[in-house]
């Protein structure tokens, strides 16, 4: 493997990819890049991968005393029985942060996962991280939980992060309400559309590009931040999404890359599953 770029970014960029080649690359990274924190990043980059080999790698990493928070975050997007069992085991360990468990449930919509979220709330997990951990889950129960979280003080920005990968009619109505009532949420709404390629979502993206709002940080009205807009295209490969990329990011490699992978293992594990 060649040098000249960040091993950490490479390890995180494997989130959501569980091919044999990707598993070999993870093993190579663990051997050739012994920097502090690399094993933790490899653990986080297992997000979205629930194969037997990935579960064995997680157990190996735990034996290497990799931080429990990294093991937990690397379970995002994985809802297999073995993954749920590992979460249960992690919750019993000293020093575990319940917020990491809450975030690890992103992309998992099983009854067991909803029950775990309810238990986390009862045990005083941060409501904002519970909201983030609803990413990719669009069931009626999840929408009801989002409403309860809002009523109990969860920040709307985190609620928006937890709508990533959800394009149901009710989720689009929630975004529409924010668009009309909260002018400071353009960027959050744009980012929340990652993984959603419906006609309604594409229309909302066009509307976001038209909007101009007052901003204390700018002398003039500003529109949606293009970095947030780019991240909101991640996981969407429709012809119309490709036209957006061509128009706005053709000569902007950084934003173009963000439109395919956000750099957040939680989000990428839910919406950037390009090997499937």
User: DSSP states of the chain as a string?
Assistant: ---SS-HHHHHHTTTT---HHHHHHHHHHHHH---TTHHHHHHHTTTT---HHHHHHHHHHHHTT--HHHHHHTTTT--SHHHHHHHHHHHTSTT--HHHHHHHTTT--SHHHHHHHHHHHHTT--HHHHHHTTTT---HHHHHHHHHHHHTT--HHHHHHTTTT---HHHHHHHHHHHHH-GGGHHHHHHHTTT--SHHHHHHHHHHHH--B--TT-SS-B---HHHHHHTTTT--SHHHHHHHHHHHTT-HHHHHHTT--S-HHHHHHH--TT-
Rounded Cα–Cα distance for residues 92 and 243 (Å) = 48
Cβ-proximal residues to 88 (8 Å cutoff; 6+ apart), any chain: none
Which of 94-108, 163-177, 261-275 is least confident?
261-275
Residue at a domain's end among 96, 114, 147: 96
| Pair 96, 72: CB distance under 8 Å | yes
**Confidence class of residue 183 from pLDDT cuts 50, 70 and 90?**
confident
| Whether the Cβ atoms of residue 269 and residue 76 lie closer than 8 Å to each other | yes
Shared-domain flag, residues 215 and 144: no
Average pLDDT over residues 195-208: 97
User: Are 178 and 155 in the same domain?
Assistant: no
| pLDDT of the residue at 205 | 97
Same domain, 146 and 171: no
Is the pLDDT at 49 greater than 60, yes or no? yes
Output the pLDDT for position 220: 58
Compute the average pLDDT of residues 98-104. Answer: 96
Task: Encode pLDDT of 84-99 as tens digits.
Answer: 999 999 999 988 999 9
Distance CA 151, CA 129 (A): 15
225 with 184, same domain: the answer is: yes
**Same domain assignment for residues 110 and 92:** no
214 and 241 assigned to the same domain? yes
Domain residues for the domain of 214 are: 164-276
Give me the number of domains the chain comprises.
Answer: 3
Question: pLDDT digit string (tens) for 137-161?
Answer: 999 999 999 999 999 999 999 999 9
Whether residues 194 and 273 share a domain: the answer is yes
Query: Where among 74, 96, 118 does a domain terminate?
Result: 96
In this prediction, residue 166 carries a pLDDT of 98
Query: 175 and 157 in one domain?
Result: no
CA quadruple 60, 86, 46, 119: dihedral positive or negative?
negative
Residues 64 and 139 occupy one common structural domain: no
Question: Which one of 96, 118, 150 terminates a domain?
Answer: 96
In tens, the pLDDT along 50-93 reads 999 999 999 999 998 889 999 999 999 999 999 999 999 999 99
86/136 same-domain check: no
196 plus 168 within the same structural domain: yes
- Among residues of the chain, what percentage have pLDDT more than 70? 92
- 175 shares a domain with 276: yes
């Amino acid at each position: 493997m060649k040098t000249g770029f960040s091993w950490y970014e490479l390890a995180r960029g494997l989130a959501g990819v569980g091919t044999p080649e990707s598993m070999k690359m993870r093993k190579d990274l663990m051997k050739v890049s012994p920097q502090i924190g690399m094993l933790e990043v490899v653990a986080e980059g297992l997000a979205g991968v629930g194969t037997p080999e990935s579960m064995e790698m997680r157990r190996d990493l735990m034996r290497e005393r990799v931080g429990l928070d990294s093991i937990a975050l690397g379970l995002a997007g994985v809802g297999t029985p073995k993954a749920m069992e590992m979460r249960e085991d992690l919750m019993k360990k000293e020093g575990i942060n319940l917020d990491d468990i809450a975030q690890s449930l992103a992309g998992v919509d099983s009854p067991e996962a909803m029950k775990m979220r309810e238990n986390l709330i009862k045990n005083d997990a941060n409501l904002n991280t519970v909201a983030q951990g609803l990413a990719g889950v669009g069931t009626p129960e999840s929408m009801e939980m989002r409403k309860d979280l809002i009523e109990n003080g969860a920040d709307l920005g985190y609620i928006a992060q937890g709508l990533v990968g959800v394009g149901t009619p009710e989720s689009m109505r929630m975004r529409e309400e924010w668009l009309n009532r909260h002018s400071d949420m353009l960027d959050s709404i744009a980012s929340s559309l990652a993984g959603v390629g419906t006609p309604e979502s594409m229309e909302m993206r066009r509307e976001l590009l038209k909007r101009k709002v007052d901003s204390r940080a700018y002398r003039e009205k500003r529109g949606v931040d293009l970095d947030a807009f780019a991240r909101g295209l991640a996981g969407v490969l429709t012809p119309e999404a490709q036209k957006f990329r061509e128009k706005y990011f053709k000569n902007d490699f950084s934003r173009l890359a963000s439109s395919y992978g956000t750099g957040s293992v939680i989000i990428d594990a839910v919406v950037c599953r390009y090997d499937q």
